[in-house]
Structures are given as structure tokens and as C-alpha cells.
Amino acid sequence: MNAQLEGLRSTAYHEAGHAVMAFLTRRPFIKVTIIPDEDGSTGSVRYSEKYLTDLDLMTFDPWSCRTRSKIEKEVMVSYAGQIAEEEFAGKLEHLVYQDDVDIAKLVQKMVGTEEEAQAYQNWLYLRSKNVICHKHNWPLVEALAEELFVHKELSNRRARKIIKQARTDLFNELFKQRGYN
């Protein structure tokens, strides 16, 4: 496969990682695409403006379970793209500067010191990696990435259908292996 197609497939895995983690954490999104846009990004998951507005307007009380949960999910969705791309390609093909900036801003609102921020980010990265690379979740990323590679853009409805079908197929295979026909 030529380098351009391999780069596009890596982008598909990157964006599929974001979308699958969004699905798993119930983070609403509108579509997932690997069509470059005018700002130079090679792909994206487009999120609901209402969700982003709610996140911006949220009172950042670091002791609030609701706030902390929402921020942790947001950070995990941000990390999931680079984790999926690295798992697929063995390395990061794309700059993830914007993901890293978004993560740092969110984490900084939740902690008091730089040391705590770094530890929190490290924990959330490991948590994200464990979720995305888990044997029951990685096939969801693969299924979505391959469909995204072929179709270049998927609506929320289509992406969710692919993820749910991959999950059903996986569990049917597990049940079959264990003799639960």
C-alpha cells in the first residue's frame, strides 16, 4: 500500500478511536470524517454544539462528581484517537497538537499543581489505552476505521450502527466459542 493510502488508513483509525470512545462514554457526536477540512486537519469527529457549550459553561468545581466525570470522559475521547492510531500503525503518523492542548486545558481546570496535572493526565491516558485496546473494544475500532477508510465520512447513526454490529458479532463469536449457540 502506498504511503498516502497508509496515512489515510492511520487517520481512519485515529478518528475511529475518538468516535468509539465517544460511543462508549456516551459522548454525543454528529459525524466522523477523514476528509480534510479548511483548517488543515486530516479528519475529525464533529460534536454537538450544545454539548460543547454545556462543557464551556459548566461550573468547574473539581469536587463535583458530575464535572469530574464529564471532564474525564472528554479527556479520554481526546486521547483515544492517538492511542488507536498508534495501536494500528505502531507510531503516530499525525501531529496531535490540538488533542494535547485540549487535554491540558481540561485537566488544568481540575487540579491544583503541575505535578498533580501530569499524574492525572498519565492516569487518564492509561485508562483510555486500557479501554480502547481491550479485546472487546479494539474490534469496534477496527470495524469503524475500515468503514471510514472506504466511505470517508459517516453520520452518527451509521457509525453507531457499525459499532453496535461489531459488538454483536464479537459477542456472538464469544458465545459460540463457549458453546452457547
Q: Any idea where the domains of the chain sit in the sequence? A: 3-170
Question: What is the mean predicted confidence (pLDDT) over 80-102?
Answer: 80
Model confidence at 41: pLDDT above 80: no
Q: What is the pLDDT of residue 105?
A: 79
Q: Calculate what percentage of the chain has a pLDDT beyond 90.
A: 54
Q: Calculate what percentage of the chain has a pLDDT beyond 70.
A: 87
Q: What is the pLDDT of residue 113?
A: 86
Lowest mean pLDDT segment, chosen from 52-66, 119-133, 154-168: 52-66
The SS3 of residue 33 is strand
- C-alpha grid cell for residue 22? 465517544
- Number of Cβ atoms within 10 Å of the Cβ of 143: 20
Query: Which stretch, 33-42, 68-77, 115-124, 145-154, has highest mean pLDDT?
Result: 145-154
Strand arrangement of the beta sheet that strand 29-33 belongs to: 44-47, 29-33, 153-155
Question: What is the mean predicted confidence (pLDDT) over 15-34?
Answer: 96
Model confidence at 59: pLDDT above 60: no
Model confidence at 48: pLDDT above 90: no
Question: What is the mean predicted confidence (pLDDT) over 155-181?
Answer: 92
Instruction: Give burial (CB, 10 Å; 0-12/13-18/19+) of 104.
Output: middle
Q: What is the pLDDT of residue 62?
A: 63
Would the pTM of this model clear 0.85, i.e. be above it? Answer: yes
| Alpha helix positions (H), 25-155 | 49-57, 65-89, 97-108, 114-132, 138-151
Nearest to 75 by CA among 33, 16, 128, 19: 128
Looking at domain 3-170, its CATH class is: mainly alpha
